Amino acid sequence: MRRGQRDQEFEEFVVAAWPRLRRAAYLLSHDAHEADDLVQTALAATYARWHRVRKDDAYSYVHRAVVNAYIDGTRRRRPVPVERDPDRAVAADDSIDDRSELTELLAPLSPRERTIIVWRYYFDAPEAEVAERLGISVGTVKSTASRALARLRSSTTTQGETR
C-alpha cells in the first residue's frame, strides 16, 4: 500500500473514531484537555505503526493505547483536584462533557476504579484483558469492579434520597 493511500486510510479512521475515543479518554481523566492529549498521544503512536495495525481491530488498538497513556500518566503524577469557579462560563467544548451524568457518576471513584470500570464496561473488555493491560490479577479486576459498582449504587441511592 502506498504511503498516500495509507495516510488517507488513517485520516478516515481518525475522523470516524475521534469522538468516541475522546469521550472514553474524558471518562478516564475527567479533564477535556487531558482527554485530547491522551487521544493525540495514542493516535501518534498508532500512526507510526499503522501499516501493522489490522484495520478490523484498529479502534480496539487505539483505545488500548489511550488507556495505557492514561495509566502511564497516573503513575508519573498524582492528580491535583481543581475547584470549579461557579461564576466561570463553561467553554463550548466543555459543556457537553461537564453535564454528563456518567462523568458525574464516575467522579467519586479512584483513578484505578474508574479505569477498571471504563475499560470493563465502556470498552466492553473481558476481565482477563483488563487484568493483562493493567498488570493485575483477574480477581483484582473483579473485586475492584464489584466494590466500585457498589459505591456507585450507594451514591446514586443517596443522591436519589436527597432530591
Cell of 16: 470516524
Residue of higher predicted confidence among 37 and 97? 37
Cell of 155: 451514591
Residue of higher predicted confidence among 59 and 104? 59
Contact (CB, 8 A) for 6 and 79: no
pLDDT, position 77: 54
Confidence of residue 80 (pLDDT cuts 50, 70, 90): very low
Query: How many angstroms separate the CA atoms of 69 and 119, rounded?
Result: 13
Residue-wise pLDDT tens digits, 59-74: 989 988 998 888 887 7
CA 161 to chain centre: 30
Domains of the chain: residue spans and CATH: 1-78+94-99 (1.10.1740.10), 101-163 (1.10.10.10)
* DSSP conformational letter for 107: T
Q: How many CB atoms lie within 10 A of CB 36?
A: 16
Query: Is 145 a residue whose pLDDT tops 50?
Result: yes
CA torsion through residues 135, 24, 9, 44, sign: negative
pLDDT, position 159: 61
Contact (CB, 8 A) for 89 and 95: no
pLDDT, position 139: 95
Cell of 125: 473488555
Query: How many angstroms separate the CA atoms of 15 and 97, rounded?
Result: 19
SS (H, E, C) 39-104: HHHHHHHHHHCHHHCCHHHHHHHHHHHHHHHHHHHHHHCCCCCCCCCCCCCCCCCCHHHHHCHHHH
Mean pLDDT within 135-160:
85
pLDDT, position 107: 83
The pLDDT mean for the chain works out to 80
Q: Which residue has the cell 434520597?
A: 161
Q: What's the predicted TM-score (pTM) here?
A: 0.55
pLDDT, position 88: 45
Confidence of residue 75 (pLDDT cuts 50, 70, 90): low
Cell of 78: 498524582
